[in-house]
Amino acid sequence: MMKLAALQMRSVGGDPAANLARIEWAASEAAGKGATLLVTPELGITGYGAGEAIAVLAEPADGPIVRELQRISRQAGIAIIAGFAEREGSAVYNSAVHVDGDAHPTVYRKSHLYGDYERSLFTPSEPTTRLFEHRGVTCGMLICYDVEFPENVRRLALAGADAVIVPTALPAGWSGTFITEHMIQTRAFENQVFVAYINHCGSDALFSFAGLSRVASPDGQVLARANSADETLIFAEIDPKAFAISRADNAYLEDLRRISPDCSL
């Protein structure tokens, strides 16, 4: 079991130092309330709407940004998932990194880029399965639009994920409200996993964000949620054993393997 904290964040576009300082504050607050994992939004360190500055701010996975996140994690005593622009050679990826003190970081690269804005800035990754263990809970990562493709969540669930962590930059509007109010809970229920969907709030130079961060449980309920406007920390207990009855009653993964033992996505 783990206690997850999520920072619905108002990032400063193009100012990693300011955003890292905000994450450091949240890490201290979350750890003080017993959380062991802090999740922050998509591209929270650069700001989602930083535009062409993102290419300049992009760093390798062993660069100063990730090292600073490791320092924050070590000092606060809490693991962190944060979105950053990752550079490898000439390619720039929309990435999320999991750091836990001095342990080797786990990096996930977004595979499904959304719209002309993202496609003009980033290289898409092949869909990949990135898992890590945290306090006995197996976690996988996706980023924003990735979760809207059911195959991505199902792939992680089949690989053994108990929880799917999704930093996002969901814009305000009717479609964003539908995604948060219906799709996130459905992804959790149909795969019998927890889904933590953590968004920006407010506006930057280019975008207005929906907020509405939430953590859904395997039975489709919402364990924690934020409103549409405010920067806030929300908390949820992630305990797979507490949902054994739900998994027994809704045995989608077991039945899928029974029907197609070689199923893979």
Interval 86-113 mean pLDDT: 97
pLDDT in the model for residue 248: 86
Judge whether 156 and 131 are in contact, CB under 8 Å: yes
**Residue 179, pLDDT above cutoff 80:** yes
Structure tokens at 221: 């309920």
* Tens digit of each residue's pLDDT (9 = 90 or more) over 222-261: 999 999 889 999 999 999 999 888 988 888 888 888 776 6
pLDDT in the model for residue 119: 98
Helix spans in the chain (H): 16-32, 53-57, 64-76, 115-121, 150-158, 174-178, 184-191, 244-249, 252-259
Percentage with pLDDT > 90 across the chain: 91
Q: How does DSSP classify residue 9? A: B
Nearby residues of 178 by Cβ (< 8 Å), 6 or more positions away: none
* Tens digit of each residue's pLDDT (9 = 90 or more) over 122-133: 999 999 999 999
Give the CB-side neighbour count of residue 174, counting CA atoms within 13 A.
Answer: 0
pLDDT in the model for residue 102: 93
User: Annotated catalytic sites, by residue?
Assistant: 42, 110, 144
**Measured between alpha carbons, how far is 66 from 59 in angstroms, rounded to an integer?**
9
CATH architecture under which domain 2-259 falls: 4-Layer Sandwich (3.60)
Interval 53-69 mean pLDDT: 98
pLDDT in the model for residue 259: 75
Interval 139-146 mean pLDDT: 98
Task: Give the residue extent of every domain in the chain.
Answer: 2-259
